């Protein structure tokens, strides 16, 4: 008995809410019927045509828009796809979606279902799907470039090339096993395989030794604002954010919890976290706030220690000793110093006045320089996902096991290479990865 086809799905593919144009996507065997019923006659493939969008049962006009027809397999999902480009009013969108729900064989798409069908049809691999998700979420120019490269297959091409080398080496090992009774052939093929794996192992180690730059660019360069109470941390956060993100008060201990603000510094994503001030206290709530401040500082890529120019505390507390190597000292409230009394400061300290704005541009520039140095401007594809890093590390470990293992245990060395190839295949979906599919596609909105 033939398996029934997947149901035809539909969803709003553009952002929800009022807009100039809204796009409704339909994918599956019934996509053509939707055009026939609601916007006939069916247009030529991949040609935008103006049509009235009608109710499939009553024939009532719902909107006048543009329709497109993408017959299988030349579509995003690999299935028949129809797109209805509507006026983006809420009432229009609601009327069209309600009408689609009345067409037999159609149902509303689940989150990420269009992208999942594209993966299952071989239109995208898993790494490209994850790059597409990052591209949708990109907030800065650098994030856009990185995500677009991954969605376009840059990372997949790298891993597929590595996997091809692994399969070549594994083929040599298998050939040696087939001619085990001819020792000279087995030794020769093993030597050739080892040469391939030695080069590959160096490339994998170099790829992993990237200081997590791709993940930092994807998630944001994290900056922790720390310092004594009343040093002006919350005021500085508001100045950096250019809005009232945090409560500012002369009362010590106002900030009890961590407040995050996302910034775009020259195309780089930066997340600045305002933390509770460090001081001696008996209060349990303030102690918890300082514990959280310490945790945020330890997880940050850069720590700003903000102190009052009139009574500077440049020595870090013991709680922050572990982050001293990535701490930038910031001297605030220069406006309180009398003219000519400003101290001579070392290069590791940035003077400013949050009140007057003096020095803020210098601080922005310094943060940007440090972030760029950490993220870098490398041309080769970068690891962007924890999942990818774990699998590449698994590949590296298997390659090391091959190189360090006993050459006479040829079957075990072949298994090392199979495990390495399997790890790379799981990144792109070249092997069975059912256990990670729901997690990956669940990141998408319903219309994607």
| Strand segments (E) across 99-191 | 106-108
What is the second-level CATH architecture of the domain 128-210+382-441?
Up-down Bundle (1.20)
Burial class of residue 284, CB neighbours in 10 A (0-12, 13-18, 19+): exposed
Count of helices and strands (H, E) across the chain: 14, 12
Measure the CA–CA gap between 54 and 34, rounded to whole angstroms.
10
Q: What is the CA radius of gyration of the chain?
A: 29
Tens-digit pLDDT profile for residues 434-446: 544 564 466 566 6
Collapsed DSSP state (helix, strand, coil) of residue 64? strand
SS (H, E, C) 297-355: HHHCCEEEEEEECCCCCCCCCHHHHHHHHHEEEEEECHHHCCCCCCCCCCCCEEECCCC
Residue 254 has pLDDT above 80, yes or no: no
Q: What is the pLDDT of residue 88?
A: 93
Q: What is the pLDDT of residue 448?
A: 64
Residue 281 has pLDDT above 70, yes or no: no
Binned at pLDDT 50, 70 and 90, residue 252 comes out as very low
Q: What is the pLDDT of residue 251?
A: 43
Binned at pLDDT 50, 70 and 90, residue 154 comes out as very high
Q: What is the average per-residue pLDDT within 353-368?
A: 89
Backbone angles phi and psi of 66, in degrees to 5: -125, 135
Q: What is the pLDDT of residue 15?
A: 87
Q: Where are the domains of the chain?
A: 8-109, 128-210+382-441, 221-375
What is the second-level CATH architecture of the domain 221-375?
3-Layer(aba) Sandwich (3.40)
| Contact between 378 and 384 (Cβ < 8 Å) | no
Q: What is 8-109's CATH number?
A: 3.30.1360.120
């Amino acid at each position: 008995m033939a398996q029934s086809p997947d149901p035809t799905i539909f969803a709003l593919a553009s952002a929800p809410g009022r807009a100039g144009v809204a796009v409704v996507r339909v994918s599956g065997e019934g996509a053509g019927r939707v055009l026939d019923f609601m916007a006939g006659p069916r247009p030529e493939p991949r040609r935008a045509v103006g049509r009235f969008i009608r109710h499939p049962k009553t024939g009532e006009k719902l909107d006048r828009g543009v329709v497109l027809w993408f017959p299988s397999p030349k579509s995003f999902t690999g299935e028949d796809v129809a797109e209805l480009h509507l006026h983006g009013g809420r009432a229009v969108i609601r009327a069209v979606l309600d009408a689609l729900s009345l067409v037999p064989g159609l149902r509303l798409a689940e989150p990420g279902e269009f992208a999942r069908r594209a993966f299952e049809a071989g239109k995208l691999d898993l790494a490209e799907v994850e790059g597409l998700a990052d591209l949708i979420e990109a907030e800065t120019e650098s994030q856009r470039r990185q995500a677009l490269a991954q969605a376009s297959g840059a990372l997949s091409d790298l891993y597929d090339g590595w996997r091809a080398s692994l399969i070549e080496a594994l083929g040599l090992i298998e050939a040696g096993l087939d001619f085990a009774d001819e020792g000279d052939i087995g030794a020769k093929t093993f030597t050739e395989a080892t040469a391939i794996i030695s080069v590959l192992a160096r490339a994998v180690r170099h790829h992993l030794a990237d200081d997590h730059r791709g993940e930092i660019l994807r998630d944001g360069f994290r900056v922790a604002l720390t310092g004594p109470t009343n040093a002006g941390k919350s005021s500085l956060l508001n100045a950096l954010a250019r809005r009232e993100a945090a409560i500012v008060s002369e009362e010590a201990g106002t900030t009890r919890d961590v407040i995050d603000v996302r910034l775009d510094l020259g195309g780089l994503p930066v997340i600045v976290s305002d933390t509770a001030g460090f001081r001696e206290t008996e209060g349990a709530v303030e102690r918890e706030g300082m514990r959280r401040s310490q945790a945020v500082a330890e997880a940050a890529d850069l720590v700003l220690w903000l102190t009052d120019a009139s009574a500077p505390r440049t020595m870090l507390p013991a709680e922050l000793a572990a982050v001293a190597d990535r701490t930038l000292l910031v001297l605030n409230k220069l406006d309180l110093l009398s003219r000519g009394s400003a101290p001579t400061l070392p290069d590791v300290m940035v003077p400013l006045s949050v009140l007057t704005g003096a020095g803020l541009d210098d601080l922005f520039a310094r943060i940007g320089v440090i972030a760029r140095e950490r993220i870098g401007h490398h041309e080769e594809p970068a690891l962007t996902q924890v999942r990818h890093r774990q699998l590449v590390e698994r590949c590296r470990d298997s390659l090391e096991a091959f190189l360090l293992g006993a050459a006479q245990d040829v079957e075990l060395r072949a298994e090392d290479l199979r495990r390495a190839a399997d790890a790379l295949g799981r990144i792109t979906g070249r092997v069975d990865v059912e256990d990670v599919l729901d997690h990956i596609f669940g990141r998408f909105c319903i219309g994607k």
